[in-house]
Amino acid sequence: MCCYMNFKYINYQLLLLACGWLSATPIDKTDPSCYDCATLVHVRGSMSNNALRPSLADVAAKASVSVGTVSHVLNGNPKARIAQATQERIRRAADELGYRPNRFARSLAGKHVRSIGLMIPTLNNPFFISVAVVAQRRILDLGYEMVLDPIFAQEWAVIDHRRLGYWPVDGILMWTFTSQPTNEIFGAQASRMPIVYLGLMNDAYCSGVQVDFYTGMTRVLNHLIQRGRRNLAFVVPETVANKPSSDRRREAYFDAVKSLGGEIQILRYADDHEMANGRRIGLEVGALSARVRPDALVCYNDNVAIGVYHGLRAAGLSVPGDISLTGFDGIEEGQCLDNPLTTAMVPADLVCGAGIEMLIERIENPMLEQHTQIAIPTRLIVGATT
């Protein structure tokens, strides 16, 4: 089991490559659809080189029609009057050649490419893998494709505002944790691209689906208090610990501890290698005497909580006999521990589904000015760690 889990975490990015979410393939500049008509004549030719992917010109040659006719048919131009038999011949030729439209060229021409971009903070947390899986399934069901862009940082200010212009997509879903007003994240680019934000919302001038992190964490904390726990420590990434007003989970912890008249205890870890850092914290807490040790560890997410659990057990502590432990997110791995994790489950399917519907509405109605925002609650899952 341990070997399988390690292999699984190490190979998340390989899995994404295999699924087609990430691609190392450059734009094929030999494809005539990448160029305007004036340039097209210089790059037309047959598929004599196996390295070239089939182009509009190749489909046109096989179907014995012009490139323009192929473009009208494959792009579904309703104004083009083309015989049904010719349309069928063109589509048959495209299928036989394995032709796929160049989305970069279509996006540069200002046309819909039926593709949606998903931006998530990391690939190192299984929760965001589940977000990507759920989002892709829903997007495909609606006749679109998905492009995945993992930011690998929660410091959203470092995002290059120009990157939106490079994407061959009709709109973007972005999972954000930032305290920065969401309509400012991409600057002026946001006005030219439909964007729906997921997770955290900080202003009224955008559309998005907010997770009710505050209520979810409050329920977790109240559960611990009802179980008699009073000495609560918060296990949190450094980026969150350093920004007092930017995180609703952190705010809920502070409010709960203050209401108890207790002591704020923050156990920080570096954002990367969450599980390994969690195990280190578990070992350190396990080395403390019972007199000074917290009686509950409230973890920022399930991924770090799993590491903490293994650290506590390795240190010889009983969970929850000696110390209680909670997570947040509700990932499957947390429920596969010897003692399933108590956590707040974030319904990724509901969040993604609502966000995708909002985004497609904005794509199909570009003049829509009214913004929509909804909040999705979490669900307390009481496991065997409390």
Query: Domain-by-domain residue ranges, the chain?
Result: 32-101, 110-211+349-373, 213-345
Whether 299 shows a pLDDT value over 90: the answer reads yes
Quick: pLDDT tens for 196-245.
Answer: 889 887 666 778 899 999 999 999 999 999 999 999 999 999 888 777 66
Whether 42 shows a pLDDT value over 50: the answer reads no
Whether 7 shows a pLDDT value over 50: the answer reads no
Q: What is the pLDDT of residue 320?
A: 97
Quick: pLDDT tens for 187-209.
Answer: 666 667 788 889 887 666 778 89
Confidence of residue 48 (pLDDT cuts 50, 70, 90): very low
Please check whether the domain covering 32-101 is classified as CATH 1.10.260.40. Answer: yes
Whether 53 shows a pLDDT value over 80: the answer reads no
Q: What is the pLDDT of residue 378?
A: 96
Provide, rounded to the nearest whole percent, the portion of the chain with pLDDT above 70. Answer: 72
**Mean pLDDT (whole number) for 306-328:** 97
Range among 3-7, 136-140, 237-241 with highest mean pLDDT value: 136-140
Confidence of residue 148 (pLDDT cuts 50, 70, 90): confident
3-class SS string, the chain: CHHHHHHHHHCHHHHHHHHCCCCCCCCCCCCHHHCCHHHHHHHCCCCCCCCCCCCHHHHHHHHCCCHHHHHHHHCCCCCCCCCHHHHHHHHHHHHHHCCCCCHHHHHHCCCCCCEEEEEECCCCCHHHHHHHHHHHHHHHHCCCEEEEEECCCCCHHHCCHHHHHHCCCCEEEEEECCCCCHHHCCHHHHHHCCEEEEECCCCCCCEEEEECHHHHHHHHHHHHHHCCCCCEEEEEEHHHHCCCCCCHHHHHHHHHHHHHCCCCCEEEECCCCHHHHHHHHHHHHHCCCCCCCCCEEEECCHHHHHHHHHHHHHCCCCCCCCCEEECCECCHHHHHCCCCCEEEECCHHHHHHHHHHHHHHHHHCCCCCCCCEEEECCEEECCCCC
CATH number of 213-345: 3.40.50.2300
Provide, rounded to the nearest whole percent, the portion of the chain with pLDDT above 90. Answer: 44
User: In CATH terms, are 32-101 and 110-211+349-373 the same topology?
Assistant: no
Q: Report how far Cα 302 is from the mean position of its chain's Cα atoms.
A: 16
Quick: pLDDT tens for 263-286.
Answer: 999 999 988 789 999 999 999 999
Query: Which CATH superfamily hosts domain 110-211+349-373?
Result: Response regulator (3.40.50.2300)
Q: What is the pLDDT of residue 193?
A: 78
Q: What is the pLDDT of residue 18?
A: 44
Confidence of residue 336 (pLDDT cuts 50, 70, 90): very high
Q: What is the reported pTM?
A: 0.72
More confident site: 1 or 324 = 324
In angstroms, the CA 197 to CA 182 distance is 8
Q: What is the pLDDT of residue 262?
A: 92
Confidence of residue 33 (pLDDT cuts 50, 70, 90): very low
Whether 155 shows a pLDDT value over 60: the answer reads no
Q: What is the pLDDT of residue 206?
A: 79
Buried b (16+ CB within 10 A) or exposed e, 208-237: bbbbbbbbbbbbbbebbbeeebeebbbbbb
**Mean pLDDT (whole number) for 62-85:** 83
Candidate from 5-9, 186-190, 232-236, 375-379 with smallest mean pLDDT: 5-9
Please name the residues in contact with 145: beta carbons below 8 A apart, sequence gap of 6 or more: 114, 115, 116, 139
Confidence of residue 98 (pLDDT cuts 50, 70, 90): confident
Q: What is the pLDDT of residue 318?
A: 97
Strand 379-381 to 343-345 pairing: antiparallel
Average model confidence (pLDDT) across the chain? 79
**Mean pLDDT (whole number) for 149-168:** 56
Confidence of residue 251 (pLDDT cuts 50, 70, 90): very high
Q: What is the pLDDT of residue 354?
A: 94
HSE of 5 in the Cβ direction (CA atoms, 13 Å)? 14
Whether 31 shows a pLDDT value over 70: the answer reads no
